[in-house]
Chain A
Amino acid sequence: MLNLTDTGLVFLRELRGALRERSIVINVVLVPLFMYPVLLWLAYTGLSFVIGQTENFTARVMIAGDVEQGAALVREIEAADRLERVDRAERVVRAERVDGLERVDSSERVDRPDAGTSAALEAGEEAIRDGRLDLLVELAARDGGYAEDIEVRLTGDSSKDRSRMAMSRVEDVVNRHRTAYLERAGRERGLSGPAYQMVWIERENVSTSRDMGRFILGMAVPILVIIMLIVGGMYPALDATAGERERSTWETTLTAATDRVNVLAGKYLYVAALSTTAGMLNFLAMSLSMRTLMAPLLGDRIQDMSFTIPWSAVPLIFVVTVLLALFVSAFLMVVASFARTFKDAQSLAGPFVTVMIMVPAIFMQFPGLELTTWLACVPIINVCLVFREAIGGIYHWPQIGLTLLMEMLYIWIILRIATAITRYEDIMTGSYEGGLGGFLKQRLLRRNPSGGWQP
């Protein structure tokens, strides 16, 4: 039976010590509050700079083939913003300037290919692959077509941003050219726009500015909060187990006149409390700073967006955060209890922490992923999804209920393992040689309390 007074004494003793440890305070309070928002702001600012650079570059387009037939289109391409018509692509141009003289390697020059010259076209494609050219536009008159009828073939490299962008810009020019031609031809025949186009698309976005803001919040905040929760719980978990053993204070603790369950419960609650604190502080910081963080990335569009989290979602978010903190804390403490030093514990816990962060991070990349019955059974991911949907004001209550139940089940299983561990003197005193895997295999699953040895 748990003695709450003793558990509280251990909890307060751990907490008091932790608040005097700089690395714990940094990991649990300062990093969630400041580091991630600042890091994200820097990342988004950098990203928007890179995107801006890509969007504003002038694409090099080579036009080949029947230029006479497509003269009007060619003029529009030449006049288009951020498109530059080039007649040749050179591997080395200005980089090789020596004493004001430009050295051009003629063997690498690709001249504008003439239509039908396959060798020249191949050279153009090679220039695109090499990055000397962004797009090759081939024009060809169609047999039996109208006077302005022309076939356009675009050759680019989809693996390159510049080339994709060039293709998109030329497609826009071609579409505008075609629309202008159809409008003109329709007017000449007395037809309106809808009449000659047969199918007419009108787009309307029913999402409000609040919806868009919450969508962005839902994509970013849950996974960051969960990362913080894991990182915030890791140091205290390792410190309260392996760290104590390394400092030789574990034996001191074992002499306390209380049931060991109370000692472990106090330590466990302390780790879970710090983990929850790290998660919730990060949630608060991210919620308050999201507008500022996203501003460099979204530009003027941010003016129409609202980054507010519905108050009705906060209790659910808090509950799942606490449950996840309890799960992560129990798991990390169990893993670390097999380590003799803090460093050992870091090595043991490191791979698990990576998996706990990476898997949900990958899952959360899919904006359309919903909390299904199956996903409600997958630890951590279920909490991420509940979190994300709650931010968006979506509540799949049966799956939410299942998520809560499954999290509690996982916590119960880990605590059962932790209780089993306390029965083994060699693990408690740090003389056990194996790890968690060996312990589960040798002792729990085989139900052999002596680990294969009978006294």
Chain B
Amino acid sequence: MNDPVFVKDLTKTYYDESRGPVHAVRQIGFTCSPGEIFGLLGANGAGKTTTLRMLTTILKPSAGTAKIMGYDVAEEPVEVRRHVGFYSATTALYPRLTARETIEFFARINGYDAARTPARVDELVERFGIEEYARARIDKLSSGMKQKVAIARTLAHDPPILVFDEPTVGLDVINALEMQAILSELKAQGKTILFSTHIMSEAEKLCDRIAIIHEGRILASGTLDALRERTGAHYLEDIFVSFIQEAA
């Protein structure tokens, strides 16, 4: 229970006009240790994003428990958000604010000390090389620049847990590699990182432990070596397919 991320029997069912009740996530459970990168690996529609949205309190679980730094996602959503930084390729930045204003806003609204905020903004601006366009409006920036600002705003309040939902989707190779480097660096700083992807090589390269998620269920989780041992396959792609076939 002292794990920074604790998930047990987490379930999400929603109602769709055309499909009726949709079970997006079914009783999943896992934990993350401090300074660990935990990867959720699954195909599109497997339930990765829904899981991460529940953990960041954007969605409310239908059943089960999830705790972030000991705070229940359903009961104490504000405290949970204070301890989490959420980055998603689909969440955009406010186009009319500047990069600097964006980072400052998220630091302040997420509870970062007002007196220390300017120094924190400077630090992030420097760390991500944003200086040149720090005072430019977001809608004037290129997608690569926006990506850096988005990461900086995720880290603005210096949260201990970071949630990255498909962070490299839509990025070119250079930017994708830079993102991977940032994740490694954050891990080295002792941050706990929850990371979803459908790119096998990325999961293989970055994650300490991987959970394979399919149709809302976690089919298997563990280190890459443990998963290899269970399936007898070497490459993650083969491991993934093996678990999917086993579940079918």
Which of the segments A94-102, A369-377, A425-433 contacts the partner chain? A425-433
A251's partner among B15, B79, B88 (CB-CB below 8 A) is: B88
By the criterion CB–CB under 8 Å, are B59 and A451 in contact? no
State whether the Cβ of A81 lies closer than 8 Å to any Cβ in chain B.
no
Partner of A258, one of B21, B84, B91, B109: B109
How many B residues touch the partner, as a band?
A: 35 or more
Interface residues of A in 11-25 (CB under 8 A from B): 13, 16-18, 20-21
Please give me the residue from chain B that is nearest to A251 by CB atom.
B91
**Given B78, B86, B108, which contacts A259 in the complex, CB threshold below 8 Å?**
B78
Contact indicator A249/B109 (Cβ below 8 Å): no
Q: Are B58 and A13 in contact (CB under 8 A)?
A: no
A-B contact count (CB 8 A): 80
Contacts of A431 in B (CB 8 A): 14
B136: shortest Cβ distance to chain A, in Å? 12
Instruction: Answer whether residue B198 sits at the interface, using C-beta atoms and an 8 A cutoff.
Output: no
Contact B59 A425 (CB under 8 A): yes
Whether the Cβ atoms of B101 and A16 lie closer than 8 Å is yes
Known contacts: A20-B137, A248-B90, A251-B90. The answer to whether A257 contacts B157 by CB under 8 A is yes
User: Is A139 an interface position by the 8 A CB rule?
Assistant: no
What CA separation (Å) do A171 and B13 show in the bound complex? Answer: 83
CB within 8 Å of B: which of A282-300? none
Name which residue of chain B comes closest to A12, CB basis.
B105
Quick one: CB contact mask for B84-107 with A, threshold 8 Å, 1 for yes? 101010111111110001000110
Q: Is the CB of A252 within 8 A of B91?
A: yes
Q: Is A256 an interface residue (CB 8 A)?
A: yes
Known: A258-B109, A259-B78, A453-B21. A252 touches B15 (CB 8 A): no
Q: Of B14, B56, B97, which is within 8 A of A13 by CB?
A: B97
- Contact status B92-A247, CB under 8 Å: yes
B60 at interface (Cβ–Cβ under 8 A)? Answer: yes
Task: Judge if A9 is at the interface, Cβ distance under 8 Å.
Answer: yes
**A13-B97, A252-B93, A451-B15 known; A257+B105 contact, CB < 8 A:** no
A192 beta carbon closer than 8 Å to chain B: no
Known interface pairs A255-B56, A255-B58; A9-B95 also in contact (CB < 8 Å): no
Report the minimal beta-carbon distance from B112 to chain A, rounded to whole angstroms. Answer: 10
A251 to B89, CA, bound (A): 11
Instruction: Find the A residue at minimum CB distance from B16.
Output: A431
Q: Check A256/B59 contact, CB under 8 A, given A450-B15, A455-B21.
A: no
Interface string of A66-110 (1 = CB under 8 A from B): 000000000000000000000000000000000000000000000
Interface residues of A in 413-455 (CB under 8 A from B): 425-426, 429, 431, 433, 450-451, 453, 455
CB atoms of A21 and B111 under 8 A apart: no
For B132, the chain A residues whose CB sits under 8 A away are none
Q: Does B197 lie at the interface of the complex (its beta carbon under 8 Å from any beta carbon of A)?
A: no
Contacts of A453 in B (CB 8 A): 15, 21
Say if the beta carbon of A10 comes within 8 Å of chain B.
yes
A3's nearest neighbour on chain B, judged by CB, is B78
CB neighbours of B192 from chain A (8 A): none
Question: Within A313-349, which residues are at the interface with B (CB < 8 Å)?
Answer: none
**Partner among A256, A426, A429, A433 whose Cβ is within 8 Å of the Cβ of B109:** A256
Partner of B96, one of A6, A16, A255, A433: A16
CB-CB under 8 A from A247, the residues of chain B are 92, 94-95
CA of A18 to CA of B59, assembled, Å: 28
CB pair B105 A13 closer than 8 Å: yes
Question: What residues of chain A lie closer than 8 Å to B105, measured between beta carbons?
Answer: 9, 13
Q: Which residues of A contact B111 (CB under 8 A)?
A: 257
Task: List A contacts of B65 (CB < 8 A).
Answer: none
Q: Tell yes or no: B31 within 8 A of A by CB.
A: no
CB neighbours of B90 from chain A (8 A)? 248, 251
A455 to B58, CA, bound (A): 19
A254 vs B15: C-alpha distance in the bound complex, in angstroms? 21
CB under 8 Å from chain B, chain A span 218-257: 247-249, 251-252, 254-257
Residue of A6, A256, A257, A433 ringed by the most chain B CB atoms within 10 A: A257
Known: A251-B58, A259-B78. A9 touches B94 (CB 8 A): no
Does B82 make an interface contact (CB < 8 A)?
Answer: yes
Which residues of chain B are within 8 angstroms of A426 by Cβ–Cβ distance? 14-15
Query: Shortest Cβ distance from B108 into chain A, in angstroms?
Result: 5
B110 within 8 A of A: yes
Given contacts A426-B14, A453-B21, contact A20 B96 (CB under 8 A): yes
Q: Chain A: which residue is nearest B137 at the CB level?
A: A20
Residues of chain B contacted by A21 (CB below 8 angstroms)? 96
Say whether B62 faces chain A, with CB atoms less than 8 Å apart: yes
**Complex Cα spacing A247 to B146, Å:** 14
A17: which of B21, B56, B86, B97 is its contact (CB, 8 Å)? B97
Decide if B81 is an interface residue (CB 8 Å cutoff). yes
Q: Is the CB of A255 within 8 A of B91?
A: yes
Q: Which residues of B contact A255 (CB under 8 A)?
A: 56, 58, 81, 84, 86, 91
Q: Which residue of A lies closest to B62 (CB)?
A: A455
Q: Taking CB as reference atom, which chain B residue is nearest A13?
A: B105
User: Does B246 lie at the interface of the complex (its beta carbon under 8 Å from any beta carbon of A)?
Assistant: no
**Nearest neighbor of A451 in chain B, beta-carbon distance:** B15
Chain B residues, CB < 8 A from A257? 78-79, 81-82, 109-111, 157
Q: Which of A9, A251, A455 contacts B108 (CB 8 A)?
A: A9
Query: With A13-B105, A247-B92, A248-B91 in contact, is A256–B15 under 8 Å at CB?
Result: no
Extra pairs beyond A17-B94, A453-B15 (5, CB < 8 Å): A17-B96, A254-B58, A255-B56, A257-B110, A426-B15
Residues on B lying within 8 angstroms of A by beta carbon are 13-15, 17, 21, 56-60, 62, 78-79, 81-82, 84, 86, 88, 90-97, 101, 105-106, 108-111, 137, 157
Can you list 9 pairs linking A and B with CB atoms under 8 Å apart? A10-B109, A17-B94, A17-B95, A251-B88, A254-B58, A255-B86, A257-B109, A455-B13, A455-B62
